[in-house]
A = this chain, B = another copy of it.
Amino acid sequence: MAVTLKEVAERAGVSRSAVSRTFTQGASVSAKTRKKVEKAARDLGYSPSLIARSLATNRTKLIGLIANNFQNPVFLEVFDLYTRALQERNLRPLLVNLTDQTDPSASVQLLKQYSVDGVIVASSTLPPLFAHAFKEAQVPVVHAFGRFASTPDIHIVGIDNEHCGALAAETLQKHRYKRVAFLGGPQSATSAQDRGAGFTRRAKEIGLEIVSSLYADAYAYNSGQQAMRELLEDRRFEAVFCGDDLICMGAMDAARDAGLSIPQDVGFIGFNDMNMAAWQAYSLTTIRQPTSEIILSSVDLVVSMLDTPERAPEVRLFPCSVVERSTLRPV
């Protein structure tokens, strides 16, 4: 069916190796044969089979991309950036959707079977153990949006969530809030834990009183909405720090539904600065997570591991910053 190396070789009147060499980077072929081969290939509409090449070279140019949150639109930005960054480097993403049902070890197995060249775990909710499984299986792995550890045993690219939580506390204080609430992401997520911890610690330090504290059950709109309703039962807070923009939007809608206006009756600060945070209906003051830097950096990292797999584990942290919009009262 498809045109093969052999046919091209015959037509060009050269050996199969000659054809192979004209199609592999940095191999030595004379200008003359290269020309002959290229003509023959063009005539026949030949393009080398990546499968066969992969088998021979033990390289697939496939990068496993593991994600487990398809509810949060941030991830669409994430996919967009990943697919583009990989495509530019002549790599392909093999997308794995890790639902709660799927057995983690199964997907390790799976990606091993496809012999992906590397894996990017793009999730702030997956436990580190997950990325480890790949390290153990000897496949280059980087955990993007993962939990920062001072003595990492795998590559981590992300932010210092603890510090960013503290930043939220400072921002609330700057806006002269005294009593606040914390509405975090799912408690099982390391990112949610760390943001909460940093927020709590710093709040204590600067005399900001946390009157309520609650973890939503997912990084999702509905979860934020529902958690906010609960929070509203005992409304002694003047502002809420939400561990995620999407949760924050749900929370804001719940607050408005209860007849509160923002920021007059209650202030909000979110986390991520997703595209939608700038929408007029929300115009969310939020902590910006440098998504695109994290993604580019994690791709670069995984690429460099292709050549030097034994690279020492590295942590790359990017700074977050406050984006002021209109959900906190003017200072």
Residues of A within 8 A of B (CB): 1-2, 47-52, 54-55, 60, 70-73, 75-77, 79-80, 83-84, 87, 92-97, 99, 102, 109-110, 112-115, 138, 221, 225, 249, 252-254, 256-257, 275-276, 279-282
Task: Report yes or no: B94 in contact with A94, Cβ–Cβ below 8 A.
Answer: yes
> Given A48-B113, A92-B114, A93-B95: A70 and B77 within 8 A (CB)?
yes
> Given A113-B50, A115-B50: A80 and B97 within 8 A (CB)?
yes
Task: Report yes or no: A60 in contact with B51, Cβ–Cβ below 8 A.
Answer: yes
Task: Report yes or no: B113 in contact with A97, Cβ–Cβ below 8 A.
Answer: no
Closest to A109 in B: B47
**Chain B residues closer than 8 Å to A76, beta-carbon distance:** 70-73, 75-76, 79
The winner among A51, A96, A110 for most chain B CB atoms within 10 A is A51
A84 to B68, CA, bound (A): 11
**Min CB distance, A7 to chain B, in Å?**
16
**Chain B residues closer than 8 Å to A80, beta-carbon distance:** 70-71, 97
Task: Report yes or no: B70 in contact with A96, Cβ–Cβ below 8 A.
Answer: no
Closest to A94 in B: B92
Task: Report yes or no: B113 in contact with A49, Cβ–Cβ below 8 A.
Answer: yes
**Min CB distance, A46 to chain B, in Å?**
11
A54 to B110, CA, bound (A): 14
**Min CB distance, A257 to chain B, in Å?**
6
A95 to B99, CA, bound (A): 18
Task: Report yes or no: B83 in contact with A97, Cβ–Cβ below 8 A.
Answer: yes
**Chain B residues closer than 8 Å to A109, beta-carbon distance:** 47
**Chain B residues closer than 8 Å to A93, beta-carbon distance:** 94-95
- Selected A-B contacts with CB under 8 Å, 18 pairs: A1-B138, A49-B55, A49-B115, A50-B114, A51-B55, A70-B77, A70-B83, A71-B275, A72-B76, A75-B76, A76-B79, A79-B95, A80-B97, A87-B96, A225-B280, A252-B281, A256-B280, A281-B282
**Chain B residues closer than 8 Å to A79, beta-carbon distance:** 70, 76, 79, 95, 97
**Chain B residues closer than 8 Å to A281, beta-carbon distance:** 249, 252-253, 256, 281-282
A256 to B280, CA, bound (A): 9
**Min CB distance, A126 to chain B, in Å?**
16
**Set B51, B87, B113, B115: member contacting A114, Cβ < 8 A:** B51
